[in-house]
Chains A and B, each alone.
Chain A
Amino acid sequence: MSTLPLSQIVDALARGDTTPSKLAAESFERIAKLDGKLHSFLRLTEAEAHKAAKASDARRAAGKPLSPLDGVPIALKDLFCMDGVETTAGSKILQGYKPPYDATVVRKLKEAGAVIVGKLNMDEFAMGSSTENSAYGPTMNPWDLSRTPGGSSGGSAAAVAARLVPGTLGTDTGGSIRQPAALVGCAGLKPTYGRVSRYGVVAFASSLDQVGPLAQGSRGVAMLLQAIAGHDDNDQTSSPRPVPDYAASFAKGVRGLKLGVPREFFGEGLDPEVEKSVRAGIDKLKGLGCEVRDISLPNSPHAIATYYIVATAEASSNLARYDGIRFGHRAKGGANLLELYEKTRAEGFGNEVKRRIMLGTYALSAGYFDAYYLRAQKVRALIRRDFLQAFAEVDAVIGPTSPTTAFKLG
């Protein structure tokens, strides 16, 4: 039963066809059987999960569930703070760190009755697209163990694709939910910036980071988003706009939707097989009554260079907090404070993280700020303008998420 899509598990729980404790036990059994090969989990929270499942059993038996998700097993990318549960962000520098509080999304999931079963592997500080930058070793793609599940939310995607859990949370800064979801073949959503609180989420690049769900189908994704979306007093960038009823939008279907196909997304480097599948998908939507038109996002070729500056600059600032003073790793034998900082960070961060901190620090340093950071922020305004113009014409933009299928590890 625990291998069904999330929306069907929700229905089965509502009908009383299964219980939260049974689901949790099935999920742990499957993890024990399969995750030795996949390495999607960094740790399990079995004791907490069994306790939460039991409490959920009682609420379900009394006919008083906290929400449709009450009793559904969920797992979290290892950058969501969970009170008393080790949270590493895939880094050695946070090894052993047990946050003293819950992230807002974790609190909301608990308040919805979800049963949190463990923490999932990721590229260190969400920097990467294969999980190979995790300090704890890579995750394997469940469809082909020699290939990557993508990243940085690779553990979140692999666990869903292998049906270890019906739903997971990830984060997306430059594709870190969308790309792994595409490479394992599950649904993943990067919500609009501001839709979900980031309080208690280990920060990478604050003007880009967003929390989002992964599940086997879009209904499951919508149910998870419903539980985590909304304004939070502890995250001033979270939007005060009311949260719509996402489930209700499924009743409307797609007929009459106007879809824009950006020609820049079908350029050089796109695998012909991926293009064929995406075009087939677009034709399917046409058949369901969507109106499809070609559009242009002329500044999209600048997106990667812009991202590289904005994301690394913000990361260099965000990661300054890992100094060996308040939490996490501290190097031994620093003769003075400066040496303590430098040694701690040299020992705690992996190569990719150091590379990005160096680039970001360079881009923000005296004499280079205008040429790099300020210019990237202006190009970013142009990229945004392209999308605003497109959305004046179409309801949605459609295209390939990744130019290739899952690549080999190593």
Chain B
Amino acid sequence: MAIDRAQVRHVARLARLALSSEDEERFALQLQNVLGYIERLQQVDVSGVEALSFAGDAEGGLPLREDVPKPCLPREKVLAQAPQADEQAFLVPRILE
């Protein structure tokens, strides 16, 4: 299966990754190789098989916790880790003109 640079650019946009021209070329080749390897899964007979999305202890049961308010992390401690913040909120570049 051939992957061209336009496809790589489309996927990179979905993934919010800026790619250099070199990156585009490299990822096109790498994606093609991995997808070639993964092709083998098309040979497996999966008729009537249900997809397994949860690998955990379904039989043990996954209880929902009581819906009661609990203290959350202190705002100033969380905002202190942001690249840009004021005393109340995260700051981002303008999104509306």
Contacts and interface: CB of A to CB of B under 8 A. Distances in A.
B17 A302 contact: no
Contacts of A345: 15-18
B15 A358 contact: yes
Interface residues of B, number: 53
A156 to B, nearest CB: 23
A interface residue count range (under 10 / 10 to 19 / 20 to 34 / 35 or more): 35 or more
Interface stretch (A132-140, A233-241, A255-263): A233-241
Interface string A185-221: 0000000111000000000000110000000000000
Interface in A314-357: 316, 320, 323-330, 334-343, 345-346, 349, 354-355, 357
A241 B63 CA distance: 11
Task: Give the secondary structure class of B's interface.
Answer: loop
Contacts of A341: 16
Given A194-B57, A240-B63, A382-B46, A361 B14 contact: yes
B60 A241 contact: yes
Contacts of A374: 51
A365 B8 CA distance: 12
Contacts of B83: 324-325, 327-330
B95 A336 contact: yes
The residue in A233, A239, A358, A371 that gathers the most chain B C-beta atoms within 10 A of its C-beta is A358
A239 B57 contact: yes
B56 interface: yes
Given A308-B37, A346-B19, 5 more contacts: A330-B84, A342-B18, A354-B17, A355-B27, A372-B38
A135 B69 CA distance: 39
A323 B62 contact: no
B44 A379 contact: yes
A361 B92 contact: no
Interface of A: 97-101, 192-194, 207-208, 233, 236-237, 239-241, 299, 302, 305-306, 308-309, 316, 320, 323-330, 334-343, 345-346, 349, 354-355, 357-359, 361-362, 365, 371-372, 374-382, 384
Contact of A207 (B12, B53, B57, B94): B53
Contacts of B84: 330
Contact of B65 (A193, A233, A362, A375): A233
Interface in B7-47: 7-8, 10-12, 14-19, 23, 27, 30-31, 34-35, 37-38, 40-42, 44, 46
A327 B81 contact: yes
A325 B38 contact: no
B16 to A, nearest CB: 4
Contact of A240 (B7, B30, B37, B60): B60
A100 B81 contact: yes
Contacts of B7: 362
